[in-house]
Amino acid sequence: MIRSGNGRLNGTRQAVLNILRRRGGGVSVDELATELELTGATVRRHLDVLLRDDLVSVSQARGRTGRPRYVFALTEASEELFPHHYVRLTHRLLEEIVALGPEETAGRGGDAIAELVFGKMADRLAGEYAPLVSGSTVEARARSAVALLSQDGLDFDVVVGEDGVRLLGRGCPCTRIGVDVEATTKSCAHDRRLLERVLGVRVRSLGADEIPYDFLSGYLIEADAPAANGSS
C-alpha cells in the first residue's frame, strides 16, 4: 500500500475514501471529480491505486437509458484507515457505571440505567470539550467539535448544505441498542444535547428520511438559536 512519508494515505486518495464513506458508495468518477475539483483522468489514477490496494471496489450501475456506468464503494479493508477509539469510549462508560450510587440504580431496569449512564457520560464530555472548541464560523466550530469528540469514538461527518451545517454520525452506541433514540428520527437525544452544549447553539435532530443510509444519526446546527440553559 503506497502512503505518504508520515504513514498516512496520499491526501487526495484519503479525500476519495472520505467521500465514498460519507455517500455510502455508488459514486462515479465524474461525481468524485466534481467534488474534488479534479479532472476525471486524475481521479481515475487515484482510484487505480485504491483498487489495487483493495480499499475500494467497482461495480456497474445501469441507468434507465444509455450504457452502464462504473461506480465505486469502500471495501471492508478500508475501514481500518478511519479512526476508531472504542477503547477510550468503553473506559468512559465503565467509569460512569462504577460511579453510580445505589440510590441511582434502585428500582431502575437495564434500559433506564443505560440511559442514565449515557447521559452522565455526555455531560462529562460536554464539560471537557466545550471550552476547547475553536473557530469563528459555524462550520469551523463544528469541525473543531467533531475533531475533539472523535477522540472518544463519537464519529461525525460535517456536511455543509443549503440549509446549513449538518453533523452525520456513525459511532453513537445509543442508536445501536435503541436507548434514548428520539421518536421519528434515528438520532440520539444524548448526542443532540451533547452537541448543543459543546457548540453553544441549538441543534435539531434530522428526520430518518433525511439521514443517508450509512449513518446512524443526523443533526442540523441552528446557528441563530442559542442552546437552552441547562441543556444536557
Q: What integer is the mean pLDDT of 56-80?
A: 80
> What is the model's pTM?
0.57
Residue 50 near residue 56, CB atoms below 8 Å: yes
Residue 181 DSSP class: B
- Name the percent of the chain lying above pLDDT 70: 78
Beta-carbon count within 10 A of 153 CB: 19
**Is the pLDDT score of 139 beyond 80?**
yes
For 159, other C-beta atoms within 10 Å of its C-beta total: 18
pLDDT of residue 58: 92
A 10 A CB-CB count for 22 gives: 17
Question: For the range 153-157, what are the long-range contacts, defined as Cβ-Cβ under 8 Å and sequence gap of 24 or more?
Answer: 153/84, 153/85, 153/86, 153/88, 153/89, 154/89, 154/125, 154/191, 154/194, 155/82, 155/83, 155/84, 157/18, 157/21, 157/22, 157/215
Supply angle C-alpha 117, 120, 126, rounded to 5. 140
pLDDT band at 29 (very low <50, low <70, confident <90, very high): very high
Mean pLDDT computed over 59-67: 72
Provide mean pLDDT across the span 133-147: 93
Query: Which residue from 151, 154, 190 is spatially nearest to 172, judged by alpha carbons?
Result: 154
The residue ranking higher by pLDDT, 212 or 232, is 212
Average pLDDT, integer, range 121-129: 88
3/14 Cα distance (integer angstroms): 10
Quick check: 79 pLDDT over 50? yes
Greater model confidence, 75 or 183? 75
**Does residue 184 register a pLDDT over 50?**
no
Q: How confident is the model at residue 161 (pLDDT cuts 50, 70, 90)?
A: confident
- Mean pLDDT over the full length of the chain: 79
The confidence score (pLDDT) of residue 20 equals 84
The pLDDT assigned to 17 comes to 86
